[in-house]
Structure 1
Amino acid sequence: MDIPEELATDDSELKTGERLRALRESRGLSRPVLAGMCGRGPDWLKKIETGERELTSHPLLLRLAAALQVADLSVITGTDTPAAAATAVPLGRLSHPGMPDIWSAVMTRSLVPAASGPADPASLQGRVDQTWRMWHTSTHNRTEVGALLPDLIRDGEHAVRALDGEQRRRAQVALSDIYRLTGQATAYVAPAELAWVVADRALAAAQAADQPAAIAAASWNLGNILRETSYPEEALRVVEEAAALIRPHLDGAPEDWRGIYGALQLHAAVTFARDGREGDAWRYWKKGDQIAKSLPAGYVHPSTVFGRANVDFHAVSVATDLKKSQKAIGLADDIDPDVMPSVERRARLWVEVARGHLQRGDRTAALHVMQMAQRIGAETVAYTPSARSVAADLWRSAPRALRPEAAALAVKVGIATA
């Protein structure tokens, strides 16, 4: 982002609080919004901006920089502040205050064994499973999961280094899950280099464990990153190879092995749809549909949430990506969203429906649906580019009578309205 004109020159007269206020206002952020992104209240930020309180916490300084999309801390503190010298903040397409701690855990991986004993693989996997559940059930999943990830990453790495044999393979599976979860929680907020490191480590750990289901899950994660960075053909190759790897093991395999296989089919369906390849998109969606029918009615894969409801949700996504808005909205009308246990996935469904309404030019319906999505999953909407794009479109072009509501939505999503 651009630096405000008043900060573009080396003005040593400006204090930290004055710099913060100028940066915040230039981003169109209110005090409550910026303070909330740092896990603090608006009074805390007001006292810093007015000079009543000094900003002495380096972690909080990093969180403010990430939230304001400032890569150089000296822009906030002034060039004469020693703590700010040569300090850069890693930034993704969006910002989240938890990113610096996750960056540190991933990018400063220790090669020296820790003094404490390694985590028990079963206990480690239990913590990972619990964190996945938090990801799918919390309305502030990035913040809550992001707070747990640094310790999980370090404990997983330590277990893999310290254990051997079957215990080490189980730890590798848990570590692969940890890095997959990291990829989900930092999507769009992680710098490109971290996103690729995380995806590669998830796949490498799964391959070291020699466990087909873990390899397939890590490939599903890598496919997401490839697709979102405009490499659709590479994404398809990865998920198709993973599906071919796990396919021979499906007979008699645990339900979750078929669950991840089904998730790979839906991944391919959406990738084809975004490329405008309608026949291929629906062909792969039907493969996922058949897998869902072969599983118990209430089955849900723990991380991808593949199951009957997710197959139906993906039908809406495929239709929307193919610009078949009437079909997408009709499909959504037949869905009971409450059968989906994932808050994150329910919010994304309504974003897809809002996109469909926008394709038809119905901004009133799109605004109503986006308000629902934001209430269901605040951080899902705030940190998903497609959702932010819909909110920005509504803010710019909502009917006159609905502009106050569209502006309020834009503020909640974190889009500047000033």
Structure 2
Amino acid sequence: MDIPSTLTTGERIRLLRESRGMSRPVLAGLCGRGPDWLKKIESGERELRSHQLLMRLAGALQLNDLQFITGTEVEVSRPIGSGRLSHPGMPAIWEAVMARPLLWDLPPTPPDADDLRRRVDEAWRLWHNSDRNRTQVGELLPDLIRDAETATRVLEGARRRTAYIALSEAYRLTGQATAYIAPAEMAWVVADRALAAAQAADDPAAIAAAAWSLGNILRSTAHPDEALKFVEDAASLLRPHLDGAPEDWRGVYGALQLHAAVTAARAGRAGDAWRYWDAGDQVAKSLPSAYVHPSTMFGRANVDFHQISVATDLSASGHALTLADEVDPDAMPSRERRSRLWVEVARGHLHRGDRTAALHVMKIAHGISEETVAYTPAARRAVLDLWREAPRALRPEASSLAEAVGITIA
């Protein structure tokens, strides 16, 4: 967007925030500050001198250069890193996805479609149950992708539809396993192929699940309105089929509601966020109490976890921590999702300035799933903030955690 050169830094921040549909409490919360602080910055009542806070604002506003905020103050303007993290499994996955051949070497024996579905289901279970899920699932994905692609080319009829569903799920899992480590172009390719395979299978539940994954990409690239419309359209596609449908179809539908709740919360739209969460809550109440969707983890526990996430993203840290006190983390069978819950609780403590509690909780999250903390930007930012701002007595402990997560302290 074109920003008039006459605007002050505060006016620029307000223009950028409003252009992204973000409320003042949400943007301030992403920077670890309160809305009154941001109001004074935007009004010019308070001068913004901290380079660290400038970097946080740029990251929260999805900017690649501080010049958008500082205007002519070129002495503090420099590019913002893309935030992509390195993982040793990425090259092999990249090769399987991006070097897909036009001419396929077909095997003498056709692949077994049901076996492909079994392998995909096992890979999803590994993703949710391993504390090194990116590494272990990443080792499976290249062969799984190639075998599923082959199956869609050689099988026919119902078996081909089954293969397409397996291929869609394999690409969806690839998107999960490579989030924040894959180049942006591959993330889009994977999400698009998951949707295309689901559409080729003509399976409403698979299409809705693929839309859930593509919505994650849209949300993470600062397109909240597009993400909301996409998951709403997917829910509309699935809704007519819900009466008498398998439980997993309702599970996907509920996951779409929770996706919309978090998307709205991150945009600062509290009313919409809680409306979507209520819709997901109603879906969970219609399912057996022990039900859990195999990939999205939608179920009673996940609805409760998302209630905390929505409150945290709306900068209602006190409410989030109160909700967290009532949740049983062990009710969630996914290690990855349990770890992310504790990251949300740690963020709530940081918003309230309780760094001692935040450090304790972040260590719990890391103990549950090392790679979830190491490869989730929000968790890494929290660990870095703890290292920078922890009380002196806790600095060695915070430093050890940062080192374990792989954060290099200059």
CA distance in 2: counterparts of 1:117 and 1:417, whole angstroms: 53
- Is residue 249 of structure 1 aligned with residue 241 of structure 2? yes
Alpha-carbon deviation of 1:92?
Answer: 7.0
1:294 maps to 286
Question: Which one of 277, 281, 303 corresponds to residue 285 of structure 1?
Answer: 277
- Is residue 167 of structure 1 aligned with residue 146 of structure 2? no
Residue identity in the other structure for 1:163: L
Could you tell me whether the CA contact under 8 Å between 1:269 and 1:283 is conserved in 2? yes
CA distance in 1: counterparts of 2:167 and 2:380, whole angstroms: 32
2:397 maps to 405
Question: Which one of 178, 191, 194 corresponds to residue 202 of structure 1?
Answer: 194
- Is residue 391 of structure 1 aligned with residue 387 of structure 2? no
Task: Kindly provide the CA deviation profile for residues 3-46 of structure 1, in whole angstroms up to 9, marking residues without a partner as x.
Answer: xxxxxxxxxxxxxxxxxxxxxxxxxxxxxxxxxxxxxxxxxxxx
1:231 maps to 223
1:183 maps to 175
1:107 maps to 98
SS at match of 2:86: coil
In the superposition, relative to structure 1, how do residues 205 and 92 fare at CA in structure 2: closer, same or farther (>3 Å)?
Answer: farther
Could you tell me whether the CA contact under 8 Å between 1:92 and 1:192 is conserved in 2? no
1:375 maps to 367
2:125 maps to 133
SS at match of 1:304: coil
Alpha-carbon deviation of 1:114?
Answer: 2.3
SS at match of 2:109: coil
Could you tell me whether the CA contact under 8 Å between 1:92 and 1:190 is conserved in 2? no
SS at match of 2:295: coil
Residue identity in the other structure for 1:271: T
Question: Which one of 304, 308, 317 corresponds to residue 316 of structure 1?
Answer: 308
Residue identity in the other structure for 1:161: R
CA distance in 2: counterparts of 1:117 and 1:399, whole angstroms: 64
1:96 maps to 87
In the superposition, relative to structure 1, how do residues 384 and 96 fare at CA in structure 2: closer, same or farther (>3 Å)?
Answer: same
Could you tell me whether the CA contact under 8 Å between 1:395 and 1:410 is conserved in 2? yes
Alpha-carbon deviation of 1:349?
Answer: 0.1
The correspondence of residues 293-372 of structure 1 with structure 2, limited to 5 A, is 293-372=285-364
1:274 maps to 266
Alpha-carbon deviation of 1:118?
Answer: 2.9
Residue identity in the other structure for 1:100: P
Task: Kindly provide the CA deviation profile for residues 126-152 of structure 1, in whole angstroms up to 9, marking residues without a partner as x.
Answer: 000000000000000000000000000
Alpha-carbon deviation of 1:164?
Answer: 1.5
The correspondence of residues 207-226 of structure 1 with structure 2, limited to 5 A, is 207-226=199-218
2:148 maps to 156
CA distance in 1: counterparts of 2:369 and 2:110, whole angstroms: 36
Could you tell me whether the CA contact under 8 Å between 1:269 and 1:285 is conserved in 2? yes
117-126 or 314-323: bigger deviation:
117-126
Could you tell me whether the CA contact under 8 Å between 1:266 and 1:285 is conserved in 2? yes
CA distance in 2: counterparts of 1:105 and 1:318, whole angstroms: 36
Alpha-carbon deviation of 1:167?
Answer: 1.1
Alpha-carbon deviation of 1:108?
Answer: 1.0
CA distance in 1: counterparts of 2:95 and 2:354, whole angstroms: 45
1:18 maps to none
Could you tell me whether the CA contact under 8 Å between 1:118 and 1:155 is conserved in 2? no
Structure 2 unmatched ranges of 5 or more:
1-81
Could you tell me whether the CA contact under 8 Å between 1:315 and 1:331 is conserved in 2? yes
| Count of residues in Structure 1 that have an aligned counterpart in Structure 2 | 328
Could you tell me whether the CA contact under 8 Å between 1:299 and 1:308 is conserved in 2? yes
TM-score between the two structures when normalised by the length of structure 1: 0.78
Could you tell me whether the CA contact under 8 Å between 1:92 and 1:191 is conserved in 2? no
CA distance in 2: counterparts of 1:153 and 1:329, whole angstroms: 41
CA distance in 2: counterparts of 1:179 and 1:237, whole angstroms: 22
Structure 1 unmatched ranges of 5 or more:
1-90
Residue identity in the other structure for 2:155: L
